A and B are shown apart, each in its own frame.
Chain A
Amino acid sequence: MKTSVICFLCLASLIVLTGCGGPRVYESELDRRPITSRLEAQDIRRTVEKMAESLIADEGVAAATAGQKPVLDIEPMKNRTAISVDMKSITDSVRTRLIRSRLFRFVDRSTAGADIAIMDEQAQLGLTNPKNAIRPGQQLAAQMYLTGSLTDITTRLGRTVDHYYKFTMILKDLRSGEIIWTDEQEIRKFARHEKLDR
């Protein structure tokens, strides 16, 4: 009788704990502790912050941009790993931070098609005052562009998985072809008993 009661209580607590009452959802902080050995949101955020700080602090960049706010464009970073990462989002985040620094101006080639379509509408529909209509050929030209790559090395030993990720970013001068700035962010994470689905 006593054993049956213990069994019943344990099972009841198990049912409650395993979430029969539906999923429990929490708002999480952005920089939470790692839950896998793979690339996570906090790794991307740290990388973006480090790259933006490094670029702002670099003496070579300051010398190349002295007395002006250079116009920059972005070439999305290349993903040389097997994992799926939105590389454009990373360069977009770096751009956001750099724009906030008020040291650079940015143009965006990826929206050039939409720009042309709007200008065509202004020119052809007749709704816009022709004197105010924006025409192609007046846009700023990018003087430099930001790009980079992500690489990784994965090592497995028994049930231990070791991931090494390396972000590399460069700022290149379009006119001279010179690489003005470059930096790396290395991330190494390992886990034991982690299930891999790739």
Chain B
Amino acid sequence: MKLFAFAACLLAISQLVGCWWYTTAGTSVVLNHDTGKSVLFEGNTTLRNRIAVTAVTYDKVASGMNRVNFQLASQVQKEIHLQYRIAWFNSEGMEIDGDSRTYRPLIVQGLDTVTVTGVANSPAAVTSRIRIREWDSSH
């Protein structure tokens, strides 16, 4: 009987854990350079300590659209699993085509520096922001 009670408790706990696993949200760090300054808005101190935006550059591709490059540097020795999304804004600060911008996976090796690039898909896009979130890397 005690064994049955123990098994039932274990099952209940596993159900609870399963529910929480799906609701684990990514954390975010937002880089805002609308004003020409790189300002980090920390949504999570853990992520802030793990990844840093070290450079932001703009140029134009051959078709005339804006392109942005974000240089990201890992601050830790272990591999980190991130997702990033680059959003574009018009001259009035309104996001362009926000629904269609996707989060892309990014795996950064320990203490490595990577550059991610985004190209605007509208001539009206003049500034951009990168949003980074960390995903469970337990696998």
Contacts and interface: CB of A to CB of B under 8 A. Distances in A.
Interface of A: 3-4, 6-7, 10-11, 13-14, 17-18, 30-31, 33, 42, 45-46, 49-50, 52-54, 56-59, 61-63, 65, 97, 100-103, 190-192
B33 interface: no
Q: Nearest 6 pairs between A and B by C-beta?
A: A62-B62, A10-B8, A31-B103, A57-B61, A53-B119, A17-B15
Q: Which of A30, A52, A56, A101 gathers most chain B CB within 10 Å?
A: A56
Interface of B: 1-2, 4-5, 8-9, 11-12, 15-16, 19, 26, 61-63, 65, 67, 83, 85, 97, 99-105, 118-119, 121-123, 135-136, 139
Contacts of A6: 5, 9
Given A7-B1, A33-B136, A57 B119 contact: yes
A14 B7 CA distance: 11
A49 B63 contact: no
Given A14-B11, A102-B122, A191-B139, 12 more contacts: A17-B12, A18-B15, A33-B26, A42-B103, A45-B100, A45-B102, A46-B102, A50-B104, A56-B63, A57-B61, A57-B119, A102-B123
9 contacts: A3-B1, A7-B8, A46-B102, A49-B100, A53-B119, A54-B119, A62-B62, A65-B63, A101-B63
Nearest to A17: B15
B12 A10 contact: yes
A198 B138 CA distance: 27
A42 to B, nearest CB: 7
A97 B12 CA distance: 47
Contact of B83 (A31, A45, A59): A31
B121 A11 contact: no
A14 B102 contact: no
B17 to A, nearest CB: 11
Contact of B62 (A31, A54, A63, A101): A63
Contacts of B118: 53
Q: Which of A14, A50, A61 gathers most chain B CB within 10 Å?
A: A14
Given A14-B15, A30-B102, A97 B121 contact: yes
B62 to A, nearest CB: 3
Contacts of B99: 30
Contacts of B65: 56-57, 101
A14 B62 contact: no
Contacts of B16: 17
